[in-house]
């Protein structure tokens, strides 16, 4: 036998022996978790006792005795004491965690409290300053369930301009502010916007969507590293390990993306970010080409921590401007004429979608009403003819209202649904605008799931508070904060399925299901120990759940006080 052959055989023998040794006693893990109730979100929705982590990955899952095989002299062993563990929780539509430098209305519960808060801010403000609120509040949280009028705000802050910012689509101005920006009954309504009037034809002070451009607010402080770190800190107590940012984060998505990358380079990230470039204002192929240059990035750029996954577009308004195929209830329907707001007209929108598709970008589009959904489906179908969009996780964001044939088209085009719990907060307002029949079926998650669509869950924070357990409670119960159960037929009874919406389905939505989203060997070790057993907890308990401990990439990034 030649030496080389003998060496080769020897090498094979050695490697075989090494394999055998490995099978008997696997490489010790860094940390082994035992004695838990671990929901894996794998294909079988298995629940196991424990798992082992090495570096930033899961390396094994199984029974306690199986896990003991992964314990070496330096392995840390953590007794979960029967606690429930979920794969890291996620938010599929998150702008920021709310708050900000403006007047805080998030805690007021009546019109009186709101006006007092504004009056106090006005009394403290210097002359000539514009009083601006933060955006994380909604009239549905008020006992009266309506907005203040321009006159009421004027009485609270006489001769001082007030602009209440509400969610992402609406401003409410007092009389002084209307005067300051010269908004009168004769002001032409900007296309893609609305200037609201009451039954008597007087301005109410509400401006929405493109009409907001009539007002110039003081520029907010530029987005900075503290914002990024504050978001991470706010979300960890809810077990959140990853978020998807649809095009807007504290005023400057492109700069925020740079900061996220800087935070990653400096080892400061404790949350995984998937971002979408802002394409809301693009109205032509030419504009889209220019925008791509200013973004300075490309589809798929990034890492497991920060990744660019597409472009965010918008076709209609929000609660008060969702584009329906039927007119709004009176008086909002303006005599059967008002069906919502078209923010991006179909021809322009389609041109932009096709152009971005031709450059390899994936689209995610805000569409609230069913007429808006028609617009999205038509544009996506046109793009699909140019270059297939299937398997690329294009999505509709929100999809409040849809018709059965639209659901079939979504399926045909392989478009995913990014769903949130707006109804939980805004139900009575939607009922007022759209009527019970339409409002009660808002965001028909069960219909979408039954049709075989990929659906993930989130909150649209700060439009809706970012608490994922409110979202899961709402989807399980269809209960709302102030108006009882809406659309019982859309309840999701299966607890594993609910958790899948914010774990593995999220990973699929961002195309990362091979690397995360479930507790399986080889995947990133993102998970949370929760305060209660999600699979068996009473419905009402879900709403109040929290994380006891949150882990990202095999590292504990949050621990609740008092939890050992």
Q: Which of 30, 209, 460, 483 binds Zn ion (CB under 5 A)?
A: 460
Q: Which is nearer to Zn ion, 91 or 460 (CB)?
A: 460
DSSP string over 327-340: PPSTTTTTTTT---
For Zn ion, which stretch binds (CB under 5 A), given 192-200, 288-296, 435-443, 454-462?
454-462
Find the shortest distance in angstroms from Cβ 235 to Zn ion.
16
What SS3 class is residue 555? strand
Give the nearer residue to Zn ion in terms of CB position, either 460 or 483.
Answer: 460
Q: Which CB atom, from 54 or from 399, has the smaller least distance to Zn ion?
A: 399
| Smaller CB separation from Zn ion, 254 or 329 | 254
- Print burial letters for 122-142: b (CB count within 10 Å at least 16), e (below 16): beebeeeebbbbbbbbbbbbb
Specify the stretch interacting with Zn ion by CB under 5 A; choose among 38-46, 378-386, 459-467, 524-532.
459-467
Stretch that binds Zn ion, among 27-35, 182-190, 374-382, 452-460 (CB under 5 A): 452-460
Nearer to Zn ion, 384 or 397 (CB): 397
Q: CA 323, CA 338: separation in Å to the nearest integer?
A: 9
Nearer to Zn ion, 209 or 460 (CB): 460
170 counts as binding Zn ion under rule CB under 5 A: no
The 3-class secondary structure across 234-259, one letter per residue, is: HHHHHCEEEEEEECCCCCCHHHHHHH
Q: Which is nearer to Zn ion, 273 or 558 (CB)?
A: 273
Q: 23: buried, middle or exposed (CB in 10 Å: 19+, 13-18, 0-12)?
A: exposed
CA distances (Å), 204 to each of 208, 241, 515, in order?
Answer: 12, 42, 51
| Secondary structure (3-state) at 398 | strand
| Residue 279 DSSP code | -
Residue 198 C-beta: closest distance to Zn ion, Å: 28
Instruction: Provide, rounded to whole angstroms, the least separation between the CB of residue 69 and Zn ion.
Output: 46
Q: Does 209 interact with Zn ion (rule: CB under 5 A)? A: no
Q: Dig out the tokens for 503 from the structure.
A: 């774990």
Instruction: Extract the tokens encoding 175.
Output: 């009389």
Closest to Zn ion by CB, 205 vs 458, is 458
Nearest approach, Cβ of 317 to Zn ion (angstroms)?
A: 12
355 binds Zn ion (CB under 5 A): no
Q: Which residue is nearest to Zn ion (CB)?
A: 460
Contact status: 421 vs Zn ion (CB under 5 A): no
SS (H, E, C) 171-218: EEECHHHHHHCCCCCCCCCCCCEEEEECCCCCEEEEEEEHHHHHCCCC
**Contacting range for Zn ion; rule: CB under 5 A; set: 270-278, 310-318, 458-466, 550-558:** 458-466
d(CA 224, CA 221): 8
CB of 402 to Zn ion, least distance (A): 18
441 in contact with Zn ion (CB under 5 A): no
Contact 492, 445 (CB under 8 A): yes
Point out which residues bind Zn ion (CB under 5 A). 460
């Amino acid at each position: 036998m030649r030496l080389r052959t003998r060496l080769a055989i020897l090498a094979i023998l050695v490697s075989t022996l090494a394999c055998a040794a490995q099978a008997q006693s696997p490489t010790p893990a860094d940390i082994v978790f035992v004695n838990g109730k671990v929901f894996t979100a794998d294909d079988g929705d298995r629940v196991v006792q424990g798992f082992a982590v090495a570096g930033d990955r899961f390396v094994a899952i199984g029974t306690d005795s199986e896990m003991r095989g992964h314990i070496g002299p330096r392995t840390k062993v953590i007794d979960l004491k029967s606690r429930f563990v979920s794969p890291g929780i996620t938010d599929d539509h998150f702008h920021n965690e709310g708050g900000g430098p403006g007047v805080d209305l998030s805690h007021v519960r009546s019109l009186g409290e709101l006006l007092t808060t504004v009056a106090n801010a006005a009394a403290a403000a210097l002359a000539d300053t514009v009083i601006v609120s933060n955006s994380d509040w909604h009239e549905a949280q008020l006992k009266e369930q309506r907005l203040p009028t321009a006159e009421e705000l004027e009485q609270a802050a006489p001769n001082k301009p007030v602009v209440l910012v509400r969610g992402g689509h609406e401003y409410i101005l007092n009389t002084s502010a209307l005067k300051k920006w010269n908004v009168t009954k004769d002001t032409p309504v900007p296309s893609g916007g609305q200037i609201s009037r009451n039954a008597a034809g007087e301005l109410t002070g509400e401006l929405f969507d493109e009409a907001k451009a009539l007002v110039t607010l003081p520029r907010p402080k530029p987005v900075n590293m503290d914002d990024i770190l504050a978001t991470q800190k706010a979300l960890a107590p809810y077990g959140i390990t990853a978020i998807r940012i649809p095009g807007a984060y504290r005023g400057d998505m492109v700069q925020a993306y740079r900061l996220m990358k800087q935070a990653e380079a400096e080892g400061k990230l404790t949350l995984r970010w998937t971002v979408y470039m802002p394409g809301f204002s693009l109205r032509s192929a030419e504009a889209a080409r220019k925008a791509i240059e200013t973004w300075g990035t490309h589809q798929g750029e990034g890492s497991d921590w920060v990744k660019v996954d597409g472009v965010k577009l918008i076709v209609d308004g929000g609660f008060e401007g969702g584009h329906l195929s039927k007119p709004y209830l009176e008086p909002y329907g303006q005599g059967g004429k008002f069906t919502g707001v078209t923010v991006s007209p179909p021809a322009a929108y389609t041109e932009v979608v096709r152009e971005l598709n031709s450059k390899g970008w994936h689209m995610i589009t805000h569409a609230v009403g069913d007429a808006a959904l028609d617009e999205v489906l038509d544009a996506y179908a046109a793009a699909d003819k140019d270059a297939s969009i299937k398997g690329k996780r294009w999505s509709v964001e929100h999809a409040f209202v849809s018709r059965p044939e639209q659901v079939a088209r979504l399926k045909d085009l392989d478009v995913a649904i990014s769903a949130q719990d707006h109804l939980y907060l805004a139900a009575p307002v939607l009922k007022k605008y759209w009527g019970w029949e339409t409002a009660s079926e808002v965001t028909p998650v069960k219909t979408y799931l039954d049709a075989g669509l990929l659906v993930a869950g989130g909150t649209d924070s700060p439009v809706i508070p970012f608490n994922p357990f409110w979202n899961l409670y709402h989807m399980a119960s269809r209960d709302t904060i102030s108006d009882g159960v809406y659309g019982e037929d859309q309840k999701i009874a299966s607890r594993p399925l609910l958790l899948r919406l914010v774990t593995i389905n999220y990973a699929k939505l961002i195309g990362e299901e091979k690397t995360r989203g479930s507790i399986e060997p080889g995947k990133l070790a993102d998970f949370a120990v929760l305060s209660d057993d999600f699979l068996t907890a009473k419905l009402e308990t879900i709403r109040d759940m929290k994380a006891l401990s949150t882990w990202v990439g095999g590292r504990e990034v949050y621990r609740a006080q008092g939890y050992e």
